[in-house]
Structure 1
Amino acid sequence: MLYPELFKQLESVRWNMDSDIGWDKFDPALLSEEQAQTVKMNAITEWAALPATEMFLRDNRDDSDFSAFMSVWFFEEQKHSLVLMEYLRRYRPDLVPTEEELHQVRFEFDPAPALETLMLHFCGEVRLNHWYRRAAEWHTEPVIKQIYETLARDEARHGGAYLRYMKRAMTKFGDEARAAFAKVGVLMASARRTAQALHPTNLHVNAQLFPRDTIQSRLPDPAWLETWLDTQIQFDAVWENKVVERILHNMSLLMERSFASVQELNRYRKELTVALAKRAAGGGAEPQPA
C-alpha cells in the first residue's frame, strides 16, 4: 500500500494556517480590487475538490489504497479553499463566497475510466502548480503572495503522489495503463492548440447539465479563468511550455522512454494502441516497456 507512506510524507511538510501564514504582514495598499476578486474565484474553484473526491471514491471502489489517500488529498485541497476564504474574511469580508456559491460547484460527475482520470488529475496538479507560481508573481500584496506560493508547493506534492499511483497502475495493468496515461498526456500537453485552459475544472463532466457542467461555468463569473490567465497573471507561451516540459519529463520517467515533444508521446500512444488491438485479436502477449 502507498497510503501509509504518502500520509507520513505529506504530514511531515503540512503547513499550519494560523502560524505559517504571515497574516500580520498584510498591506492593504498593495491589494487591488481585481486581485481580490480573483482570490474569491479561486476559493470557489478549490471547493470543487469536494465533488472530485466523491467522483474518485465512486470510481475507485475496488481500490481501497487509493481511496484512503483521498482523505489526505481532500483535506489539503479543501484547506486551500479555506485559506483563501480566510484571507478574504480578514481583509475583504464583502468578497467571502456564500455557502450557495460554494455549493454551486458541487454536482455529480459522469463516470469515467479510472486510469484516464488519474492521469488527468496528475496533469491538473502540474498545471495548477505553475498557475499558482505565476499568480504569486502577479500579486503585489505579500500575504496572498505567500499563500499562492504555499498552495503551489502542495499541488506539486499532490502531483508526485498521483505519479506513485500511476507507477503502481502500470505494474498492475501494463499497456492498458500506459495507453491511458499517454492518451491523456497528449491531450493535456496540447493546450496551445485549444481555445480553453486544459484543467479538470474547465472540462465538461456531466452530459445532462451541459453546458453548465464544468466547474468554471458554475462560478459567479464563468469567464474569469480565461481573463485571469490571459490578461492578469499572463500565463503566456513561456509558462505553458514549462507545463508541457514537466508533463513530458514525468512521462519519460514513468514510461522509461524519452519524450522530447508531444508528437513523440503521441507516436508512443499510437504504438500502444496497435499493440493492444493486436493482443485483443489474439496476436500475442503484452510487450515489455522500452
Structure 2
Amino acid sequence: MLYPELFKSLEQVRWSMDKDIPWDRFDGSLLTDEQAKTIKMNAITEWSALPATEMFLRDNRSDSDFCAFMSVWFFEEQKHSLVLMEYLRRFRPDLAPTEEELHNVRFEFDPAPPLETLMMHFCGEIRLNHWYRRASEWHTEPVIRDIYKTISHDEARHGGAYLRYMKRALAQHGDVARVAFAKIGVLMASARRTEKPLHPTNLHVNQALFPNDTVQSRLPDPEWLEAWLDDQIRFDAEWEKKVVDRILHNLSLLFDRPLTTVQELNRYRKEVVTNMAAESAPQEA
C-alpha cells in the first residue's frame, strides 16, 4: 500500500494555518479590490475538491489504498479553500464566499475511466502549482503572497503522490495504463491550442447539466479564470511551457523514454496502441 507512506510524508510537512501564515504582516495598502476578488474565486474553486473526492471514491471503489489517500488529499485541498476564506474573513469580509456560493460548485460528476481521471488530476496539480506560483508573484500584499506560495507547494506534493499511484498502475495494468496516461497527457499539454485553460475545474463533467457542468461555470463570475490568467497573473507562453515541460519530464521518467514534445508523446501513444492491437490479434483469430 502507498497510503501509509504518503500519509507520513505529507504529515511531516503539513503547515499550520495559525502558526505558519504570517497574519501579522498584513498591509492593507497593498491589497487592491481587483486582487481581493480573485482570492474569493480561488477559494470557491478550491472548494470543488469536495465533489472531486466524491467522484474519486465512487469510481475507485475497488481500490481502498487510493481511496484512503483521498482522506489526505481532500483535507489539504479543503484547507486551501479555508485559508483563502480566512484571509478574506480577516481583511475583506465583504468578499468572503457565502455558503450558497460554495455549495453551488458541489455537483455530481459523471463516471469516468479511473486511469484517465488520475492522469488528468496529476496534470491539474502541476498546472495549479504553476498558477499559484505566478499568483504569488502578481500579488503585492505580503500575507496573500505567502499563502499562495504555501499552497503551491502542497499542489506539487499532491502531484508527486498521484505519480506514485500512476507508477503502481503501470505495474498493474501495463499498456492499458500507458495509453490512458499518454492520451490525457497529450490533451493536458496542448492548452495553447485550445480556447480555454485545461484544468479539471474547467472541463465538462456532467452531460445532463451541460453547459453549466464545469466548476468554473458555476462560480459567481464564470469568466473569471481566463481574465485571471491572461490579464492579471499573466500566465503567458513562457509559463505554459514550464507546465508542459514538467508534464513531459514526468512522463519520460514514467515511461522510461525521452519525450520532449507533445508530438513525441502522441507518437508514443500510437505506438503502444499498435502494439496492443498486434498482441491481441492472434487471440482473436
Look up the match of 2:188: 188
Deviation at 1:138, TM superposition (A): 0.1
Look up the match of 1:75: 75
Look up the match of 2:25: 25
Match runs of 1:1-290 below 5 Å: 1-282=1-282
Deviation at 1:211, TM superposition (A): 0.2
Q: Provide the aligned C-alpha RMSD in A.
A: 0.9
The 3-state SS of whatever aligns with 1:282 is: helix
The one-letter amino acid paired with 1:149 is K
Deviation at 1:274, TM superposition (A): 1.2
- Percent identity over paired residues: 76
Q: Deviations over 1:55-96 (max 9, x none)?
A: 000000000000000000000000000000000000000111
The one-letter amino acid paired with 1:219 is L
Separation in structure 2 between the aligned mates of residue 26 and residue 278 of structure 1, nearest angstrom: 63
The 3-state SS of whatever aligns with 2:14 is: coil
The one-letter amino acid paired with 2:30 is L
Separation in structure 1 between the aligned mates of residue 46 and residue 281 of structure 2, nearest angstrom: 44
Aligned length: 284
The 3-state SS of whatever aligns with 1:281 is: helix
The 3-state SS of whatever aligns with 2:239 is: helix
Deviation at 1:112, TM superposition (A): 0.2
The 3-state SS of whatever aligns with 1:205 is: coil
Separation in structure 2 between the aligned mates of residue 276 and residue 49 of structure 1, nearest angstrom: 35
Separation in structure 1 between the aligned mates of residue 203 and residue 283 of structure 2, nearest angstrom: 36
Deviation at 1:283, TM superposition (A): 6.1
Q: Deviations over 1:16-49 (max 9, x none)?
A: 0000000000000000000000000000000000
Separation in structure 2 between the aligned mates of residue 137 and residue 224 of structure 1, nearest angstrom: 19
The one-letter amino acid paired with 1:188 is M
Deviation at 1:281, TM superposition (A): 2.7
Any stretches of 5+ residues in structure 2 without a counterpart? Answer: none
Separation in structure 2 between the aligned mates of residue 34 and residue 80 of structure 1, nearest angstrom: 20
The 3-state SS of whatever aligns with 2:108 is: coil
Deviation at 1:276, TM superposition (A): 1.9
The one-letter amino acid paired with 2:14 is R
The 3-state SS of whatever aligns with 1:111 is: coil
The 3-state SS of whatever aligns with 1:115 is: helix
The one-letter amino acid paired with 1:242 is K
The one-letter amino acid paired with 1:268 is Y
Separation in structure 2 between the aligned mates of residue 281 and residue 95 of structure 1, nearest angstrom: 60
Separation in structure 2 between the aligned mates of residue 102 and residue 279 of structure 1, nearest angstrom: 49
Separation in structure 2 between the aligned mates of residue 278 and residue 213 of structure 1, nearest angstrom: 39
Separation in structure 1 between the aligned mates of residue 263 and residue 2 of structure 2, nearest angstrom: 32
The one-letter amino acid paired with 1:62 is S
Q: Deviations over 1:230-268 (max 9, x none)?
A: 000000000000000000000000000000111000000
Deviation at 1:277, TM superposition (A): 2.1
Any stretches of 5+ residues in structure 1 without a counterpart? Answer: 285-290
Look up the match of 1:288: none
Separation in structure 1 between the aligned mates of residue 141 and residue 270 of structure 2, nearest angstrom: 48
Range moving further from structure 2, 273-282 or 186-195 = 273-282
